[in-house]
Amino acid sequence: MAASGLDHINILTNDLEATAAFYEQVLQLTRGKSPVQVRGLDGAWMFDPSGNPIIHLVGNAPGLSLAAGRTPGQSTNAVHHVAFRCSGFTETQERLTALGLEYRVNDGMYGLRQIMVQDPNAVTVEMNFTGE
C-alpha cells in the first residue's frame, strides 16, 4: 500500500461557527454536514469547489474521546502548518485585509508566492500560489 495524496485534515475546535466561517471566508470553502452530527456532536465538512471534503471540523465537547489530551487554540506542537494550492493571490490578500486578519507573505519560496494566516484554533494555514 502506498499513499496517493492527502484525503482531509481534521481540526478540533471550541468555536465551530468561527472556525467554519474562517474557512468559508479565507479559502472560500463551502460548509456541509459532518458524519459526527449523527452521533449528536457538532461538526462540519468544508468542501472545495469540486465538492471534495478537505477539512473536517469537530466541535469540542466534554467527554469527547477525540479530544482527550488536546486543547484547541494551544500550540499545534509537531504540526507546523497545513498547506493548500490556491489561485487569486491579489484577491486573497484583499479578502484577508478586509476581514482584518493578520497574515504574512513569502515571495519567491520554491517559485511560489505564499500567504500564511492562523485560523481561530492556532492552526497555521499556508496558501500557495504558482505563476501569480
Q: What is the pLDDT of residue 122?
A: 84
- Could you tell me where the DSSP H helices lie in the chain? 16-26, 89-98
Measuring CA to CA, which residue among 59, 47, 71 is closest to residue 15?
Answer: 59
83-95 exposure pattern, b = at least 16 Cβ within 10 A, e = fewer: ebebeebeebeee
3-state secondary structure of 14: coil
Measuring CA to CA, which residue among 83, 82, 85, 81 is closest to residue 132?
Answer: 85
Give backbone dihedrals phi and psi of 94, rounded to 5 degrees, phi first.
-60, -40
Cell of 122: 492556532
Alpha-carbon distance 6 to 116, whole Å? Answer: 20
Superfamily of domain 9-61+78-130 in CATH is 2,3-Dihydroxybiphenyl 1,2-Dioxygenase, domain 1 (3.10.180.10)
Amino acid at 40: G
Average pLDDT over residues 75-88: 78
Average pLDDT over residues 73-100: 85
Q: The pTM is what?
A: 0.81
Give the model confidence (pLDDT) of 8-43 as tens digits: 888 888 899 999 999 999 999 999 988 776 667 788
Alpha-carbon distance 75 to 99, whole Å? Answer: 23
Q: What is the pLDDT of residue 10?
A: 85
Q: What is the DSSP letter of 57?
A: E
Q: What is the pLDDT of residue 65?
A: 63
- Every domain of the chain and the residues it spans: 9-61+78-130
